[in-house]
């Protein structure tokens, strides 16, 4: 199956388990992989035969900016569900939500959640 990758979608949001995370906020980075049949646009060279990447990026940005979840897992699930509901041609989505500045003492790494959902499991 063909796929489209949208990476490095940065959003400032108020998501986190700690109360201060939901007040102060922090940066998140979202990567998504969208599975769909790209044979038609691959031949036609017509934008109408594929999805509008801008719409998907805006959907993700708006969802992240307006959410008040405690867990990254919940955010990743909400993004996956929203993409599958928004776009008929997309049959499966992989979402990676990364938190590059997690408030963990003596930890300078990145926390990431990876979730894959498809239309049949989303019903």
Give the DSSP H/E element, type plus range, for residue 32: strand 26-35
Say which of 33, 68, 99, 123 is annotated catalytic.
Answer: 99
Let me know: does 6 contact 52? Beta carbons within 8 Å: no
How distant, in Å, are the alpha carbons of 16, 36, 41, 68, 75 from that of 71? Answer: 6, 28, 37, 9, 7
Task: Give the rounded distance of the alpha carbon of 105 from its chain centre.
Answer: 27
Whether 99 is catalytic is yes
Q: Which residues are catalytic?
A: 99
């Amino acid at each position: 199956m063909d796929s489209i990758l949208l990476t490095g979608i940065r959003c400032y949001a108020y998501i986190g388990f700690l109360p201060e995370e939901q007040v102060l906020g922090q940066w998140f980075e979202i990567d998504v992989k969208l599975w769909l049949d790209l044979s038609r646009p691959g031949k036609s060279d017509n934008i109408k035969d594929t999805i509008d990447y801008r719409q998907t990026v805006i959907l993700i940005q708006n969802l992240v900016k307006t959410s008040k979840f405690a867990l990254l897992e919940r955010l990743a699930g909400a993004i996956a569900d929203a993409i599958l509901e928004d776009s008929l041609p997309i049959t499966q989505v992989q979402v990676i939500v990364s938190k590059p500045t997690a408030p963990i003492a003596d930890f300078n790494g990145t926390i990431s959640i990876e979730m894959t959902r498809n239309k049949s499991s989303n019903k």
